Every structure is written in C-alpha cells, then in structure tokens.
Amino acid sequence: MTKKEKVLEIQKIFETMYPDADCTLDFRTPHELLVSVQLAAQCTDARVNVVTKDLFQKYQSPEDFANADLEELMEDVRPCGFYRNKAKNIIASSRDIVEKFDGRVPDTMEELLTLAGVGRKTANLILGDVYGKPAVVVDTHCIRLSNRMGLTINKDPVKIEFDLKKCVPPEYQSKFCHQLVLHGRAICPARSPKCDRCPISHLCNYGKKIVGK
C-alpha cells in the first residue's frame, strides 16, 4: 500500500470518527484567527478563547490592534503567557497588515511569513481555515501521528509538511490536520497510545507493531 492509498483509507475512517473536525480557536475574522494563533503558542486553545472573548470586544479591527498601547495589551493578554513578546508581535503584525496589505490578512505563504510572530504553522492555519487553500499544519500531534502512521520519517516540521503534501489530497489537508489533533488527544497521546482500540491501527506502522505483540 502506498502512502497515498493509506491516507485515503485513513480518511474514510476519520470522516466517521471526526466528521466535524475544525479549528478549536474562536474567531470571526481572518485577523482574529491570526491574533488567536499568536496567543496560542505555549498556551491551550481553551484559555486563549477565554482571553479573546473580551479582547475582541476591546480591539475590533487590525487598526485597533496596530494602535494599541503596548503595556495595556500586555496586561490584556497576560493570561496566555509570554505576554510581552506576544503583545509586541500582535501590534507589529497588525501595523504591517494595515500599512502594507490594506488591512487584509495576506493569503500567500510568502506574505504571511513577513509578519511578526508568524511561522509556517500559523501561516498554514490561516491559508487552510480562512482561505480554503491546501495547507498542512504541523503541530506536535501531527509530528507524532504522521511518524507513527509511517507517512514520514522526519521530525523537522518543514520536512514533515512537504512529506504530507505529497500523500494527502490537497482538498483534505487542512481537515486531516484537525482530525490528527482530535485523534491524538482521544486515542494516540504521546504516552500510552490506545492501539488496541484504535480503528486505524491496521493502517499504522506503530499500531501494527503494538497490536501484533
């Protein structure tokens, strides 16, 4: 079975297990998602959603964030941790969006990567969830599961991204990554994965070894 064939079989099962898999951050606009993702670094999505509920009432546009007082924004996002750098990046990226992109969050990888605090993971999330473009979001769940499944042998996020782009259908890439997060939490955590009751264990290199024992 090729990797492409394996992914298609996994997709059939994941679509029954996690049909509504989607981004777990709350947002109404592309810029709100960008801010939320910046805040989510080393912080849970649940906590970010609590913070942004009030934050997005106070700052309602890229212009509002671009003109925010740094010290005040630091306090606003303090519960998310690393609040100094996060506040600086949010203001800097918002200014660039206003001044260089006419207030619109860019829709290309190249342009997104010019924004403060934006790496490939964040850029791919924006591209996939906002603009519906093929995009592979490589987080810790994706790294762990894609290696266990045998879809990659790499640990470097960029290499994994391009490995998965070769075998995951473009229109399925974004949802696949969201499903990996849910599967990683429910069945395949870093420690003690539940291979004996995993519906895709027969398609997973790691699972086949464990179940075989």
Residues annotated as part of the active site: 121, 139
Phi, psi of 47 (to 5 degrees): -70, -40
| Residue 85 to residue 159: CA distance in whole angstroms | 27
Supply angle C-alpha 8, 9, 10, rounded to 5. 90
What DSSP string runs through 72-88?
HHHHHHGGGS-HHHHHH
| Residue 138 to residue 178: CA distance in whole angstroms | 10
